[in-house]
Amino acid sequence: MKRLISAVALCAALIAAPASADPILFGYAAVSCGLDDPHDTTDRIDYADEVADFTTANQVCITADADETAARLARTAALFTPVFYIEPVFFSQSPRRLRPNPDADALWEYTVATIAASDVPADDLIFYLVDEPTLRRLPLSAVSAAARVIKGTFPNARILMIEAFAPDDPVAIPAGVDIWGFNTYALHDPAADPAFIRQLTSARAALGPRQSLALIMDAQYTPVHAAAGLTEADMADVARAYARLARSTPEVSIMLGYTWAGGIDGPWEKGLRDLPQPVIAAHRQIGRALRN
């Protein structure tokens, strides 16, 4: 018989867990990915300097220009840990699903050469391998196969994958993945949401040796947030709630905010840099505290 645990008990267990004493890596999506934020009036497409003083790990995206990618890696590695987004190397998006990329072998050779040209040791990167594979109908066996390729070249590589929110599904974490997380948005406080805690508890139980969790912080503002009763100013309290959760969950090794620059999903999406200054100030305080 399955043991039934109430949401209250799950929350109590989470709060009672020993706080993490280790520094937690912290940063954002869409920092060095060539994205032009539609909410500013500049042509800026790289934001590394905007976050360098309070973050320790941020998303850096691969490009088809080897020199540009190598320069991005070198520039950002001097400021923080690059969370190197390489999904297009191994997987391609078809109209209905994500599939293994038939050109993956050649693209991986290109990636390895680009890393070498950057002079950034691969051990200093976090390889962000895939985003929401189950939602996009990619078998986890394909994720495992890609992870084996990465580890075959860089045995000490850290590999990250992020799943979509699915609190009632069993959590499966491929053995080759070092850091696993899931995303969901427009919660006032994730620790007070029974479904969120249910999935987080399942993830904690599913971790294998030397695996850890990524906590995806809600750091954007969209019409969905407004419909949930959140104001832009409320996103400071949302950030503080995620920070408390990160500190109270020993398995969390990195917290990534989605997103720094706005416009990833459309012009209606504001990133953190587009929100009121008190919200940005709260994130700065959180980032600096997580380093200690």
148: tokens are 């084996």
pLDDT of residue 21: 55
Task: List CB contacts of 42: < 8 A, sequence separation 6 or more.
Answer: none
The pLDDT score that the predictor gives to residue 11 is 37
Give pLDDT, residue 237: 98
Q: Which of 81, 29, 73, 23 is nearest to 52 (CA)?
A: 81
* Residue found under tokens 């066996």: 141
Question: Going by C-beta distance under 8 Å and a sequence separation of 6 or more, which residues neighbour residue 226?
Answer: none
CA distance 48 to 291: 18
Q: CA 181, 163, 269: angle at the middle one, nearest 5?
A: 95
**Helix (H, G, I), strand (E, B), or coil: what is residue 24?**
coil
β strands within the chain, DSSP E: 25-28, 57-61, 81-85, 91-93, 98-100, 126-131, 158-164, 179-183, 212-218, 220-221, 252-258, 270-271
**CATH numbers and ranges of domains, the chain:** 22-290 (3.20.20.80)
For residue 103, CA distances in Å to 91, 133, 264 come to 9, 19, 25
Distances (CA, A) of 250 to 18, 51, 186: 7, 25, 24
**Helix, strand, or coil here: 170?**
coil
Q: How many CB atoms lie within 10 A of CB 229?
A: 9
Structure tokens, 247: 């500190």
Q: Maximum CA pair distance of the chain?
A: 60
Task: Per residue of the chain (292 residues), give pLDDT as tens.
Answer: 323 323 333 333 333 334 445 789 999 999 999 999 999 999 999 999 999 999 999 999 999 999 999 999 999 999 999 999 999 999 999 888 999 999 999 999 999 999 999 999 999 999 999 999 999 999 999 999 999 999 999 999 999 999 999 999 999 999 999 999 999 999 999 999 999 999 999 999 999 999 999 999 999 999 999 999 999 999 999 999 999 999 999 999 999 999 999 999 999 999 999 999 999 999 999 999 998 7
Half-sphere exposure for 250 (CA within 13 Å, toward CB): 9
Please choose, from the candidates 214, 270, 278, 222, the residue with its C-alpha nearest in 3D space to the C-alpha of residue 37: 270
Contact of 91 with 142, CB cutoff 8 Å: yes
* Residue 152 structure tokens: 């075959």
The pLDDT value given to residue 95: 83
pLDDT of residue 23: 87
How far, CA to CA in Å, does 203 sit from each of 22, 133, 163, 183, 247? 20, 16, 11, 12, 16
